[in-house]
Amino acid sequence: MSDIAKTKLSNPPVYERESSAVAKVSDPTPGPVQRKTLAERLEVLKTWRFWEILLIGQLLSLCITATNVTSTKLGTSYGISMPTTQTFLNYLILAIVYNTIAIWKRGFVGWLRQIWKRGYICKYNGANYMVVKAFGYTSILSAMLLDAWSIPVVMILSIIFLKLRYHWSQYVGAAVCLAGLALLVTSDVIRDSSTLSVKGDLFCIAGATLYGVSNVMEEYFVRQHPLYEVVGMIGFFGTIINFIQLMILERNELETFVGQPEAIGMFFVYTVAMFTLYSFGPILFRKSSATFFNLSLLTSDFYGLIFAIILFNAVINPLYPFAYILVVIGIIVYNIWPAPEPKIGNFDAEAAERDRLGLQGRRTQLANTEESIPQDPK
- In sequence order, what DSSP letters do the residues of 134-181 get, joined into one string? HTTTS-HHHHHHHGGGHHHHHHHHHHHHS-----HHHHHHHHHHHHHH
Residue 292: is its pLDDT beyond 50? yes
Query: What pLDDT is recorded for position 343?
Result: 66
pLDDT over 70 at 289, yes or no: yes
pLDDT winner (highest mean) among 120-134, 143-157, 216-230: 216-230
User: DSSP string covering 186-215, please?
Assistant: HHHHHH-SSSHHHHHHHHHHHHHHHHHHHH
Residue 12 has a pLDDT of: 47
pLDDT score at 44: 58
Question: Which DSSP state fits 337?
Answer: S
Of 77-86, 99-108, 275-284, 349-358, minimum mean pLDDT range: 349-358
Q: Is the pLDDT of residue 77 over 70?
A: yes
Residue-level pLDDT at 245: 83
pLDDT at 295: 79
Query: Do the beta carbons of residue 188 and residue 197 sit within 8 Å?
Result: yes
CB 285 within 8 A of CB 218: yes
pLDDT band (50, 70, 90) for residue 173: confident
List the one residue out of 229, 269, 320 whose CA is nearest residue 73.
Answer: 269
The pLDDT, as a whole number, for residue 322 is 82
Q: Return the ∠ at Cα 203 (arms to 199 and 207), rounded to 5°.
A: 170
Helical ranges in the chain per DSSP H: 3-10, 15-26, 38-41, 48-78, 83-117, 127-134, 140-146, 150-161, 168-191, 196-222, 227-249, 261-287, 290-297, 300-311, 320-336, 349-359, 365-372
* 291-309 average pLDDT score: 78
Average pLDDT, the chain: 74
Question: Of 5 and 202, which is predicted with more confidence?
Answer: 202
In terms of pLDDT, which residue wins out, 240 or 360?
240
Residue 70 in this model has a pLDDT that exceeds 60: yes
pLDDT for res 120: 64
DSSP symbol at 31? P
201/59: higher pLDDT: 59
Query: How confident is the model over 174-217, as pLDDT tens digits?
Result: 888 778 777 776 766 666 545 556 667 777 777 788 888 888 88
Half-sphere CA count of 323, side-chain side, radius 13 A: 26
- Other Cβ atoms less than 10 A from the Cβ of 164: the count is 23
pLDDT at 209: 84
pLDDT band at 104 (very low <50, low <70, confident <90, very high): very high
Range with lowest mean pLDDT among 79-83, 84-88, 257-261, 372-376: 372-376
d(CA 337, CA 36): 11
Q: How confident is the model at residue 144 (pLDDT cuts 50, 70, 90)?
A: low
Helix, strand, or coil (residue 342): coil
d(C-alpha 148, C-alpha 155), whole Å? 12
Give the pLDDT confidence of 18-56 residue by residue, as tens digits.
444 444 444 445 555 556 665 665 565 677 777 888 889
How many other β-carbons are positioned within 10 Å of the β-carbon of residue 353? 12
Buried b (16+ CB within 10 A) or exposed e, 168-189: eebeebbebbbbbbebbbebbe
Domain ranges of the chain: 75-353
